[in-house]
Structure 1
């Protein structure tokens, strides 16, 4: 069954939830109305507590999540709390009062994997608050009580509590290799507290990720939190090394179109979905391409589907190709293009081109219907053109080399096609 990993403010315009596979357990679903403290009590002074905000241009700071200060310039929170397209992040530290405390902007974001709901935010200056102590790698906390903290409302979505709250929860066991499963005792969670800490004996053992069965009144809802001990080595290494500094000769994919947010660098080679562990599938919104390199990106894994070619830095939102990349090839710009079939609107390989890897495309009624006049087909590819709907078409042509289609009596006749690499 699935677990919903959901943004801190469930009703905000930037919020989204994704479903990740996990073993069956008593939780039917962990929904987007997750992670404010329902019940509980007002917390003691907590100088390590962090309020995480999205910064939305002229709109200002929009509260998103809770976090903890783990080093003078690092905040630990949930990955789904980071800024979305068109936003940046900022934090407030050192006050239990909502929207008060030292305000510091975030200049870098680090994650261990796109699939794990944990993130480190790097701050532009040192924070004045105390840092939390993190659970060391190894010890199990199953069957123990923990304390969860957050700026939770008393049941009204989008209305945060005026002061930091806390509640006792019971850690029942594991949701998955990365997550702990808990049940509220004196209180539980709803939207707004994602990214906040679970403490056992003064050590932070988890980062609050989501909850289930919460309608704004349930003190005993089920909770999921990312296991800090499991990711302690990554946390320590990231803090020690600082924000990722990509090599000048690397192609870099970013999750925000202004070349910020989560990023991952790649060298020359073929990069399939498993290689994109940090940036993740269908997430790239900008690409940095060093001089002399060419990047051929595909909408599907295994270098399949529609393709685009980039030889310089590009805002993928502006290019109409954001959040779709699932595999890509980095090569020298001077190397022959051997990864895609190119279909051109005019003869002699001129005009606009539709690039495609292995796969099929239905064109009827679209911009490319009955528009293709020439094709480039690299060695090893087979292109089959149809004048209607694939194999049900009255006429088709098989092309295995570069060609002007008038020589096949098929100029401006294509309404669907299939690309194969036998």
Structure 2
């Protein structure tokens, strides 16, 4: 990612947030309220499948045949692209066949700078097989941000998605949910702490104890508003939560959610819209779902990947120690050598068990 930025450029937005009381914040996406008719016209439910297994994400229309979402939504599992993908537009409940527009996705274009190990550059573009009638949302830009063009209104919903609705990520919904999420300063985000947080390309948001996002909201919008017109602009794309690394419930409201900062990627978005670059073609759209689907896969956090690496090393050490012990016993080595090797084996086995427990907690 590029170097870190301060939030001085969005001082108006943050000043508004800091000055307002959080006491009357709207209900959250986790346990929140359905979005009313006419709201979020650019927001899309993305229904993917891989190996016959379904999953869901959220996205935003940015051009007649393009939807922007999180890069990890292109994968059914880490390293494995979705086999099929469908966009469902124009319906607050994606199972409402009378209101929705269903269009197949025929190509996935992942940001070439995306790093699933650190969640860097978590943004992708999905190409629709035909134009949609849904309106495109305006993109927030660096220039307008620097000019103080954007603002946020306390209690005005600024995030939406079809994700899980409880902090343990067990309850699903087919109705689009919305909430007001307070945008945090870069210093607040680092203070959580969020490992690897980069203020040049990421923002974090969440209304403490009141509002947050969850699995399935991935790729969904975080908006700011034009201070002159109140028009919503796409400010962020839901990426991940640091809760697992902090040993909290998967969608706990104690920590904010990390969003990919859209102004850092307008060149990628605009270049993709201008031409169809090389991407991963999909064979066919998935059938439109008739009920809740599993949440979107989540890219492993940096803490999870680090824990997995330590576990892999511990397993290798345990295997080598066990084989040495067996070899000494087969060769009828001295009791002293066998006892020393046995002690060593039990020590490395204990370290492997500890590393396994750490990995389970970090990779919830």
Q: Name the TM-score class by shorter chain.
A: 0.5 to 0.7
TM-score normalised by structure 2 residue count: 0.53
| 1:104 equivalent in structure 2 | 103
Note the alpha carbon deviations across 1:326-354, whole angstroms, 9 max, x for none. Answer: xxxxxxxxxxxxxxxxxxxxxxxxxxxxx
* 1:203 paired residue among 233, 247, 251: 233
- Where relative contact order (Cα < 8 A, 6+ residues apart) is larger, the structure is 2
Q: What is the aligned counterpart of 1:183 among 206, 215, 233?
A: 206
Instruction: Flag the 1:114–1:203 CA change in 2: closer, same or farther, 3 A.
Output: same
Looking at CA atoms only, which structure, 1 or 2, has the larger radius of gyration?
1
| Structure 1 residue 169, shift from structure 2 partner | 1.1
Task: Summarize the Cα distance change of 1:119–1:158 in structure 2 as closer, same or farther, 3 Å threshold.
Answer: farther
Which ranges in structure 1 are unaligned for 5 or more consecutive residues? 1-19, 24-35, 246-253, 261-364, 366-422
1:64 has 2:56 as partner: yes
More strand by share: 1
Aligned partner of 1:17 in structure 2 is none
Equivalent residue for 1:89, pick from 69, 76, 85: 85
Distance between the aligned counterparts of 1:123 and 1:76, measured in 2? 11
1:164 corresponding residue in structure 2: 176
CA positional deviation for 1:106: 1.3
Q: Residue 114 of structure 2 corresponds to which residue in structure 1?
A: 114
**After superposition, what is the alpha-carbon deviation per residue over 1:191-230, rounded to whole angstroms, capped at 9, x for unaligned?**
1101000011111100010123363774453110001011
Q: What SS does the aligned partner of 1:244 have?
A: coil
Judged with a 3 Å threshold, the aligned counterparts in structure 2 of structure 1 residues 132 and 38 are, in CA distance, closer, same or farther, namely same
Residue of structure 2 in register with 1:147 after alignment: 158
Residue 264 (structure 2) aligns with: 230
Distance 1:159 1:237, change over 3 A: same
Q: Which residue, 68, 71, 86 being the options, matches 1:76?
A: 68
SS of the residue aligned with 2:271? helix
Distance 1:39 1:184, change over 3 A: farther
Q: Residues 79 and 119 of structure 1 are in contact (CA less than 8 Å); yes or no, is this contact kept in structure 2?
A: yes
CA distance in 2, matches of 1:217, 1:55: 23
Once the two structures are TM-superposed, the CA of residue 82 in structure 1 deviates from its matched residue by: 0.7
Cα deviation, 1:49-107, whole Å, max 9, x if unaligned, reads: 11111134666xx2321101111100010000014346222211110103342221111
Evaluate the alpha carbon distance shift between residue 44 and residue 95 of structure 1 in structure 2; reply closer, same or farther with a 3 A threshold.
same
Bigger drift between 211-220 and 76-85 goes to 211-220
Q: 1:210 to 1:216 in 2, by over 3 A?
A: closer
Deviations 1:305-341 (Å, cap 9, x if unpaired)?
Answer: xxxxxxxxxxxxxxxxxxxxxxxxxxxxxxxxxxxxx
State the partner residue of 1:215: 249
CA RMSD of aligned residues (A): 3.3
Mapping for residues 277-316 of structure 1, pairs under 5 Å: none
CA distance in 1, matches of 2:59, 2:251: 23
Calculate the TM-score normalised by the size of structure 1: 0.46
**Secondary structure of residue in 2 paired with 1:230:** helix
Unaligned runs of 5+ in 2: 5-27, 116-120, 187-196, 226-231, 285-322, 324-364
CA contact under 8 A between 1:195 and 1:208: conserved in structure 2?
yes
Q: Does structure 2 conserve the Cα–Cα contact (< 8 Å) formed by 1:39 and 1:154?
A: yes
Give, in whole Å, the separation in 2 of the partners of 1:80 and 1:217. 18
